């Protein structure tokens, strides 16, 4: 199973509360692939359980920032 498929499974298992707070993109496979392949502005990192190789954490790094976020980022 490739990283995109595993990431889709990981994201779909998140609680509704977590999804509402950290929804970086829709959680279906096509949207996840588009998020990374089309914009070239995002890098995703995954952490895996050493024994099971299951994804246990996920983060996104976006190049640059949105102008209205500058105050939040500087504080």
Domain ranges of the chain: 3-74
CA angle, 8 then 9 then 14, to 5°: 95
For residue 73, pLDDT over 60 is answered with: yes
User: CB of 38 within 8 A of CB of 32?
Assistant: no
For residue 24, pLDDT over 70 is answered with: no
Q: What is the pLDDT of residue 39?
A: 66
CA–chain centroid gap for 5, Å, is: 13
Provide mean pLDDT across the span 32-55: 86
Please give the structure tokens belonging to residue 64: 């640059």
Beta pairing partners, 61: 43
> Which range is least confidently modeled, 5-14, 30-39, 40-49?
30-39
Statement: the pTM of the whole predicted model exceeds 0.75: no
Q: What is the pLDDT of residue 1?
A: 46
Q: What is the pLDDT of residue 57?
A: 92
């Amino acid at each position: 199973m490739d990283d995109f498929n595993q990431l889709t499974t990981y994201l779909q298992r998140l609680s509704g509360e977590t999804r509402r707070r950290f929804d970086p993109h829709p959680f279906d496979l096509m949207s996840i692939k588009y998020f990374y392949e089309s914009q070239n502005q995002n890098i995703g990192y995954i952490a895996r359980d050493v024994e099971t190789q299951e994804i246990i954490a996920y983060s996104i790094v976006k190049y640059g920032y949105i102008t209205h976020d500058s105050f939040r980022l500087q504080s």
